[in-house]
Amino acid sequence: MREDWAALRVALVLGLLTLTCAPLMAQTAADHERARKIVSGGCLLCHGIDGESSSELFPKLAAQNAAYIARQLASFKSGARKSTAMQGMVKDLSEADMKALGEYFSRKPATAHELRDPDLAAVGRYVYAQGNRFSGVAACAGCHGPDAAGSAELPRLAGQHALYIENRIGEFSRRERASDNAVMHAVAEKMTELEIKAVAEYLAGKK
Ligand code: HEC
Ligand code: HEC
């Protein structure tokens, strides 16, 4: 009799858990579908259906951090981050769409590029991990993490296209990327061309 009660209690708890979790799971499926529709309606042309973009000019979004993606979409929409390519793409997105898109891409598997120049990448690995104490470039790892996976708010850099990374560092250093750029401006303005190319080559090949 006592065992029956115990079994009943377990069943009750499990039942309650399913009841409370079911709407959450349904929500995720609905959000996934919402994001997939938006992506197949346009984003895929440049970023691919799985966030594997078609050109080095377009950032890879696969495995990028969800909150970071949502924030960038909001910045494009408000005009704080300028991009002729992205401007028209975000104008009809709601906050919920942006969140769903962030979740969607963050769950796609990460990929890395073949290294083109291992010697250059070795210089990049040093700058990424240590910075340049002679010129005052801060170590990238301090913010973007030792494995370049970023954090909720900070972008993942591992596996990104080298050219996209170079272009962004150039923009930060010229203060053209005006959204949330104070920190990166201070880092980028001290970097030499060699350091920029090296760090980009290293990151592109990083899994
Ligand atoms: C015509 C090509 C094109 C299309 C279509 C497009 N994008 Fe982009 N996207 C770009 C380019 C180019 C950039 C880089 C902008 C820059 O920084 O100058 C970018 C940047 C981004 C970023 C910032 C990534 C980062 O690492 O900071 C996100 C997020 C993004 N796009 C999401 C989307 C979504 C979601 C859609 C569909 C609603 C979309 N894009 C449609 C070209 C495109
Ligand atoms: C003190 C913290 C900090 C350090 C150190 C730092 N970053 Fe960043 N980085 C940031 C922040 C914050 C952003 C996001 C800015 C935004 O939200 O628009 C960023 C964005 C970037 C981006 C844009 C990514 C994208 O997807 O568009 C690149 C590229 C980048 N950092 C490269 C580097 C490199 C390379 C180094 C080292 C030489 C470095 N960062 C060091 C904080 C840092």
Of all protein residues, whose CA lies closest to atom 16 belonging to ligand 1?
83
Shortest-distance atom of ligand 1 to CA 57:
12
Q: Which atom of ligand 2 is nearest to the CA of 142?
A: 5
Is the beta carbon of 73 within 6 A of some atom in ligand 1?
yes
Q: Which of 86, 151, 154, 167 to mutate to test the pocket of ligand 1 (most atoms within 8 A of CB)?
A: 86
76 Cα distance to chain centroid: 15
CA distance 6 to 192: 68
Per-residue pLDDT tens over the stretch 152-175: 889 999 999 999 999 999 999 999
Read off the pLDDT of residues 45-93 as tens digits, 9 standing for 90 and up.
999 999 999 899 999 999 999 999 999 999 999 999 999 999 999 999 9
Residues 6+ apart with CB under 8 A from 116: 201
pLDDT tens-digit series, residues 24-50: 555 689 999 999 999 999 999 999 999
